[in-house]
Structure 1
Amino acid sequence: MNVIQFEDKPLAHYSYAIISGNEMALVDPSRDPKPYYELAEKHQVKIKAIFETHPHADFVSSHLQLHKETGAKIYVSKLVGANYKHESFDDGTSITLGDVTFSAINSPGHSPDSITIIAVDKEKNHAMFSGDTLFIGDVGRPDLREKAGNMKAKREELAKNMYHTMQHKFTQLPDATIVYPAHGAGSLCGKNMSTDSQSTLGKERKENWAFQDMTELQFVNHILKDQPFIPSYFGFDVDINKNGADNFNANFGDIPVQFGITDFPSDDTLIIDVRNADDFKNNHLKGSINIIAETEDDKIETWLGSIVEPNEKFHLVLNSIDDLDTLLSRIAKIGYEKQIQSIITLGAHNFETNKSLDLQDFKKNTDQYTIIDIRNKSEVDEGKIFENAISIPLNQLRASKNKIPTDKPIVVHCAGGYRSAAGSSVINNLLQSDNVYDLSDNVNDFK
């Protein structure tokens, strides 16, 4: 079998195409189906099957669009309660495409309705597409389904399910089975994933903590400890994926564009400005939040979906109209494209500016500033950069106005400078103050 792995770097998401003969299957496809169509054209194959390992929380899948446009069948666990046309795919069910037989293993733990897809070709080569159940070096977090999805479950219950999945569900598979996960390092669907994009089951049995000899209680305590925060959009995306999303670009043409504006009457709608921090500080619309999206390393998907609530409307300020298609595509990956009220570029007009921090004064007199540390709890637990800093994670900042003292100038910091641009702009809006400063990458001077 020929397995092709696709990587979405900002979300650390892996999806897969499996080609055998003149047929192709997909596993956990991204929102944009175009790369899969291009691959099918290149190899002159027909897309016959789409496997969904579970309703994903961190991205919107294109499974329904692929079905509508290719006729391929969608295979998903009956436990999902999917509201789209599908074939149930659970323990004991299998299909054959070309020379490859695909079968399902119900593998609850990350979610109650997770399945692992096993593929075996005529040479008895084994591959497992483990979704968010088994990662390289870790397993999926069990705390995302308490408030979202058709089947809600408590984290302790799912942690116990994951223990039994690791202990019993994969024992019949050979060590040579290649493990293809849905995510890698940087995803919020686990806490300690490897940078490797694939592994073997034998290697994971030896090195992955979840396969080691321990009691159920030890496993549960370990997996529940120090999980990362849950972005606001995760439950929203579970429900979108359970129902099936609109076509990828179906809503793009309805978004009005305001090009080169020199005036912008405030309508109290949130404004998200994705330009770089310097351009934002030099000139921006009043009330804007600066979530930078210049490169793939800037995680606009994660932070937009953490700062902005599902269904909350916002205007989107771009650096250039050239960025339009890229930014809409990235926002659509988390299902937020319908929330965009308008797309804006700024003309030759001075709107708002931010004052620059006097870094030397701050270094000499840190006690004369209120310092807000917007890193995640797990980062702060590893050590504070400033002992007198007040810790408020970025995803909680908009709801934390009463926790921020206003008797001193405020300096905002994160770990490397990217998040503090957003954090300082959020606080500036909360307090309506020009006495809020972004420490930016100067935080490295204090480590």
Structure 2
Amino acid sequence: MKIEQIYTGCLAHAAYYLESNGEAAVFDPLREVQPYINRAKLDDAKIKYIFETHFHADFVSGHLDLKNKTGADIVFGPTAKPNYEAIVAEDGQVFEVGAYKVKVIHTPGHTMESTTYLLIDENGEEHGIITGDTLFIGDVGRPDLAQKVVAELTQEKLASHLYDSLRNKIMPLSDDLIVYPNHGAGSACGKNMSKETTDTLGNQKKTNYALRADMTKEEFIEEVLAGLTEPPGYFPQNVMMNIKGYESFDKVMIKSQNPLSPRAFEVAANETEAIVLDVRRHEDFIKGHIPRSIFIGMDGNFAPWVGALIVDVTQPILLVIPRGREEEVVTRLSRVGFDNVVGYLDGGFDAWKNEGMEYDTITSISAHEFAKIYEDNKDNIFDVRREGEYRAEHVNLAKLTPLDYLNNYLSEFPEDETFYLHCAGGYRSVIAASILKSRGIHNLVDVAGGYGAIRKTDVPTTDYVCPSTLK
């Protein structure tokens, strides 16, 4: 069967392209759709269907633009209620793509419209399942997202539906089927996903904790909900964009790539109340940046951090970008619904500095320098990693202030004493430093290289802390 996984690492997202006899289908496309159109052209094929497994929360799907550009029909599973023309399929309905068949299997739980698509080849043999966020490799979709949109859909109710879907719809299928999920490790749509992006269903039945044969529904609900952190704040907004529709990606690209001189950039910042978002390397941001700008480097886990920290997708944004990467940054922002880019600094930060404009820096020290001052400053060390990382191993006496929820911890940072920030490798601590400085907190020092560098020194560490001792 001719099926291709198109994986985008920064979002840990997998779309799928299916082709047979000059007809093609795309499953869960990203916002920029030209790559799918180009792929079909290579096969001299016409895209016939755009299958959506559910209304996505972590990205804005490209289904509407792809339909407008190709004439393909959008297909959702049962109970979906999109605000635009689409086929809402029935459970068990079959769609033909060339000699292949795609069978709809309604699998509510992650969301109520969540649907798995069974792929059947030209010989009538079942080949695989495109599972969306119902079943991942090593995990299942978190059942707490839909309640952010529909309050009565509690996470317990959704987990109960997910248990039934897995037991009654997925697990009875053949062990030989290949599982094609929508996400891999790094996505916030699950909690324990594997780095592998495909597997056989039979192996998942053996190794995936949520598919344990003797698991009761009560045990499933408890285990699936255990350890879930608060989902990123932008998720409900992306869901609504996917339900209601959105502005064309092409229009977003045109209006957003607006070069501004340093003086015009400053005026725009004052007039629009835009956030100045600096996406350069964190080492460059440390050396110099526009005062009160927020750093989220594009070479890290860029778009999810923007969504988690800026949250409001309608927020006006001004960009400081390395030259030549403007289109890439705007594209990656649009993937998570941030379409209100006012413009970017023409010539980058060098132009700002050469114009004689005011700029700021971050004090940063090496891990070896940190080791020398640790004993005298051990009460003022802040770890901005996630709780799981902190629990596994951390600097002795360091306080946990996760970057994801930094605003909840602002009162804990000392007002009159120098304090020290670190993460795992240096990226997140600079994000945290930029946020704190934008709020007027400047008495901070970044530890370059983060915990990875610190643990190579003689700074004392703690290997494990009981969750009950954490806030």
Which of the five TM-score ranges fits, normalised by the shorter chain?
Answer: over 0.9
Whether the 8 Å CA contact 2:362–2:446 is kept in 1: the answer is: no
Superposed, which structure 2 residues align to 1:38-437 within 5 Å? 38-123=38-123, 124-148=125-149, 153-212=153-212, 213-255=214-256, 256-259=258-261, 264=266, 267=270, 268-294=273-299, 298-310=300-312, 311-320=314-323, 322-338=324-340, 340-344=341-345, 345-346=348-349, 347=351, 348=354, 349=356, 351-357=359-365, 360=368, 362-366=370-374, 367-368=376-377, 370-383=380-393, 385-433=394-442, 435-437=443-445
Q: Per the alignment, in what secondary structure is the counterpart of residue 315 of structure 2?
A: coil
Following superposition, the deviation at residue 210 of structure 1 comes to 1.5
Contact 2:366/2:447, CA 8 A, preserved across alignment:
no
Shift of 1:446: 2.7
Q: Secondary structure at the match of 1:109?
A: coil
Q: Distance in 2 between matches of 1:335 and 1:161?
A: 29
* Alignment check: 8 A CA contact 1:398 1:430 kept: no
* CA deviation string 1:269-315 (max 9, x = no partner): 32110111222122211101111113xxx111011111102122221
Q: Report the Cα offset of residue 80 of structure 1.
A: 2.2
Tell me the percent identity. Answer: 33
CA displacement 1:325-378 (0-9 Å, x = unmatched): 11111111101022x222112311352222333755532332426222111223
Give the 3-state SS of the residue equivalent to 1:79 in structure 2: coil
Question: What amino acid does structure 1 have at the position aligned with 2:251?
Answer: A
Counterpart-to-counterpart distance in 1, 2:172 and 2:17 = 24
- 1:30-54 deviation line (CA, Å, top 9, x unaligned): 1111111111110001100011000
- Give the CA RMSD over aligned residues: 2.0
Over 3 Å counting, the alpha-carbon distance change for 1:421 and 1:362 in structure 2 is same
Name the counterpart of 1:14.
14
Q: Kindly state the Cα deviation for residue 380 of structure 1 after the two structures are TM-superposed.
A: 2.4
Separation of aligned partners in 2, 1:24 and 1:188: 30
- Superposition deviation, residue 151 in structure 1: 7.9
Question: What is aligned with 1:26?
Answer: 26
Consecutive unaligned residues in structure 1, runs of 5 or more = none
Indicate conservation of the 8 Å contact 1:412/1:424, yes or no.
Answer: yes
Number of aligned positions between the proteins: 439
Distance 1:89 1:112 in 2: 14
Cα separation, 2, equivalents of 1:151 and 1:182: 25
CA distance in 1, matches of 2:154, 2:62: 28
Residues 262 and 62 of structure 1: is their aligned pair in 2 closer, same or farther, counting only changes over 3 Å?
closer
Using the alignment, how far apart are the partners of 2:450 and 2:217 within structure 1? 45
What are the Cα deviations for residues 407-428 of structure 1, in whole angstroms up to 9, with x where unaligned?
A: 3212111122211110111112
- Give the direction of change, closer, same or farther, for the CA distance of 1:375–1:22 in structure 2 (3 Å limit): same
Q: CA deviation at 1:152?
A: 5.6
Distance in 1 (alpha carbons) for counterparts of 2:436 and 2:50: 44
Using the TM superposition, give the Cα deviation of residue 389 of structure 1 relative to its aligned residue in structure 2, in angstroms: 2.2
Q: CA deviation at 1:319?
A: 2.1
Contact 1:108/1:162 (8 A) holds in 2? yes
**2:462 aligns to what?**
none
Q: Secondary structure at the match of 2:219?
A: helix
Deviation at 1:174, TM superposition (A): 1.6
Q: Which runs of 4+ in 1 moved over 6 A?
A: none
Q: Which moved more, 1:374-383 or 1:71-80?
A: 374-383
Q: State the one-letter code of the partner of 1:138.
A: D
Distance in 1 of aligned mates of 2:9 and 2:54: 20
Query: For 1:250 and 1:88, how far apart are their aligned partners in 2?
Result: 28
In terms of mean alpha carbon deviation, does 407-416 or 357-366 score higher? 357-366
Conserved 8 A contact 1:81-1:242: yes
Residue 121 of structure 2 aligns with an amino acid whose one-letter code is D
TM-score (norm 2): 0.88
Shift of 1:107: 0.6
Distance 1:376 1:153 in 2: 27
Partner Cα distance (2:228, 2:265) in 1: 44
Cα 1:136–1:263 shift into 2, 3 Å:
closer
Deviates more, 1:30-39 or 1:199-208: 199-208
The one-letter amino acid paired with 2:301 is: K
Quote the offset at 1:261 in angstroms. Answer: 5.5
Per-residue deviation at 1:59?
0.9
For normalisation by structure 1, the TM-score amounts to 0.93
Question: C-alpha offsets along residues 189-244 of structure 1, whole Å, 9 cap, x if unaligned?
Answer: 11111222211111212222121121112111111112244112111111111123
